[in-house]
Amino acid sequence: MRVGIIGVGMTAFRPSTPEYNWKELMFEAASRAYADAEINPREDVDSFLTCAEDYYEGFGIFDEFVPDQLGAALRPTCTVSGDGLQGLANAYMQIQTGLVDVAVVEAHSKASDIVTLDGVIEHALDPIWNKPLGAHPFVVAGLEADAYLRATHTSPKALASVVAKNHGNALRNPLAAYGAAVDVEDALRSPERFAPLRALDISNPADGCVVLVLASERAAKKLHSNPVWIRGVGWASDSPSLETRDWSDAAYTRLAAEMAYRLAKLRRPATEIDVAEVDDRFSYKELQHLESLGLAKKGEAGKRVVRGDYGPEGRLPVNVSGGSLGCGNVFEATGLHRAAEVALQLRGDAGVRQLDGVRVGVAQSWRFIPSATGAVAILEVPG
């Protein structure tokens, strides 16, 4: 049975949203998604899924704080403690069982409410082996960036090209928080942070919410919608321990992509995929993820971004949305935002950043520091 996306709802991403609490943020995105899908959540939806983590939310049991603003009170509702794409994968499976016809997936960030964001991220480090070292958690990204640059002979200029491209793309995305005209030289000269990463290599937090409505082929037909089909999903985790994971290859993305390509029956992803939205919360991650997705050979992504292959006019447009560097780090909503962006591109609803002739797209996510977990979704519209 085919499963499709029939509704997309997003709030703007902003460094802070003092005018909204988290419930109002969720309500806005949900209302937009329901209007887009032309459905009534109290009658047409069989299952609601939220992607959230207690510590980011500041609650003991955040699951309890989800239903009302989504229209989900006294309905089947659950939390997937993971990235939005993992929530999408679970909704996809629920529909594949035949038990659920229409499912709603929500993910959000209210990072501006978190007083000690670095402390919360640090709290996810192994409490016995890593946390007592007292290092800032972004040291993990610095070390990994170093391992990646060495293993693939990628130049710092490649990272700066990712930064310039994504901030520039964000200028054409009205939802993005951090659009800016940054050139490669600016990025190379920005202050050093976690060597080899510089200030501009690191995405900044943002608030925002994304809601997608998924439907079975049968339900989509009944609702007279024109779905973006989910051809494949995949998700995987490498070792949670820093000491035993692969530091240069994003094994979690390689495995997730293998699964998604298998389900999508995509044999030559590098030639069949027209548009990609991949996690770039640190600039090197975009390149590492493109290689793990099989969209570039190992060590080539850096050369190709410098050549301009990944720009909106390039051979494979990557993060036309502006990515996390341009839109902001929306934590668990990151992957769902990327799926929403790919869906908009495939529907032809991406406004001034609309690409021509895109039919197959990939969205990829990573669960941020210190995880080695990621997910992949392949979306498609009929040619």
Partner 1 sequence: MTKVGVIGAGMTLFRRRLEETGKELCFEATKMALDSAGLTRGDVDMVVCGTAPDAFDGVAMKGEYLLDGSGGYRKPYTRVFTGGGTGVFSTIAGWWHVASGLADVVLVVNEEKMSSCQPHPQSVFAHIWDPILDRPLKPNLVWIFAMEMNRYMTVYGVKKEDIARVAVKNKRNAVGHPCAQLADPNITVDDVLNSEVMAWPVQRLDISPPSDGASAVVLASEDFIRKRRIKDRAWISGVGWCIDSTMWTDRDLVFPEYVARAAKHAYKMAKIDEPRRQIDFAEPYDPFD
Q: Closer to partner 1 at the Cβ: 190 or 371?
A: 371
Quote the least distance from Cβ 253 to partner 1, whole Å: 12
Q: Which is nearer to partner 1, 131 or 157 (CB)?
A: 131
- Compute, in degrees rounded to 10, the torsion defined by CA atoms 191, 193, 194, 199: -70
* Helical residues (DSSP H) of 123-233, grouped into ranges: 139-152, 156-170, 184-189, 217-222
**46 or 186: whose CB is closer to partner 1?**
46
**Nearest CA-CA partner of 154 in 309, 308, 306:** 306
126 token code pair: 């192994």
Catalogue the long-range contacts made by 268-272 (C-beta closer than 8 Å, 24 or more residues apart). 269/293, 269/294, 269/295, 269/362, 270/294, 270/295, 270/296, 272/360
Residue 348 CB, nearest approach to partner 1 (Å): 30
Report the C-alpha gap between 274 and 318 in whole angstroms.
9
Looking at beta carbons only, is 97 or 181 nearer to partner 1?
Answer: 97
3-class DSSP state of 105 = strand
Q: Are 306 and 163 in contact (CB under 8 A)?
A: no
Q: Minimal distance in Å, beta carbon 27 to partner 1? A: 13
In the bound state with partner 1, the residue whose beta carbon lies nearer, of 49 and 182, is 49
Q: Which is nearer to partner 1, 155 or 241 (CB)?
A: 241
Write out the residues near partner 1 by the rule CB under 8 A: 53-56, 58-61, 63-68, 72-82, 86, 89-90, 92-94, 96-99, 120-121, 123-124, 126-128, 234-241, 251, 255-256, 259, 263, 367, 370-371, 373
CB 132: neighbour CB atoms within 10 A? 10
CB of 122 to partner 1, least distance (A): 8
- Closest contact distance (angstroms) between CB of 338 and partner 1 is 18
Q: Taking Cα atoms as reference points, which of 16, 31, 126, 90 lies closest to residue 335?
A: 90
- Residue 103's nearest CA partner among 51, 28, 175 is 51
Nearer to partner 1, 82 or 322 (CB): 82
* CB nearer partner 1, residue 36 or residue 122: 122
Interior/surface letters 30-64, b for 16+ CB within 10 angstroms, e for the rest: bbbbbebbebebeebbbbbbbbbbeebbeeeebee
CB of 356: closest distance to partner 1 in angstroms?
34
Closest CA to 247 of 370, 382, 122, 65: 370
The least distance separating partner 1 from the CB of residue 69, rounded to whole angstroms, comes to 9
Residue 145 CB, nearest approach to partner 1 (Å) = 20
